[in-house]
Amino acid sequence: MLTGSALPCGFLPLRTRRSYRMPQRTQYRPPTRVSVMPPVIKNLLILNGLFFLAQFVAAETLARSSMLASVLDLMPLYPPGTAGPDFWPWQLVSYGFLHGSFGHLFFNMFALWMFGVQIENRWGSQRFVFFYFACVIGAALTHLAFVSAPIPTVGASGGVYGILLAFGMMFPNQPIYIWFLFPIKAKWLVAGFGALELYSAVTGTQAGVANFAHLGGMVIGFLLIQYWRGKLPVQPDRVMRW
């Protein structure tokens, strides 16, 4: 039973209902949950580890004609139109799950975790995974644009360099300890890596290293972040700020 001017819970007076408007969200608001092992990074670490184990099994215990070895042979990135193995579209992604050695795997995964945790916690998993694979694909396309040698390319470095670039943009003054002893601000670390990769790519002083892929991951990451921040002529639906 209602008394006076009381209204049932959940109802508004007619005038109030007409003037009420839902606020429009014009800025991206990331989640606030923090984790030392967010889901995308955790799954990437597991998948890269499993693929490296598969590489080891195929190389050490199975014949090169085995089904596992045949599948793995189709995963590295090969330039199209060369005398080597064929290029397939899935290689733009699959190459990022293979590594040439345990050291290659370890340092890529350590850097992914070290720099990626804060970014995935800040952006959320959906945006983070899109960014990571955009950098992986962008790195592959950049490598193919500049390198035509029929040599297989493997490694998650393109995506990791994109994550490193994002970390330097989001946390420019956060100190990074080289060898756990010498602090350097993140922005200078990123600038140093970028300059080193550019020099090595132009001069070819680092044989066997896909320097153009590293640069491509950084460039694609920078352009994507600038798009999300509304800094490019094409504007996103929601502007991301930090």
Active site residues: 157, 214
Strand intervals (E) in 100-240:
175-178, 182-185, 239-240
The DSSP element (H or E) to which 27 belongs, if any, is: strand 27-28
Count of alpha carbons within 13 angstroms of residue 177, beta-carbon side: 3
Query: What is the biggest distance separating any 2 CA atoms in the chain, rounded to whole angstroms?
Result: 88
Number of helices followed by number of strands (H, E) in the chain: 9, 4
Cα 160 to Cα 183: distance, rounded to the nearest angstrom: 21
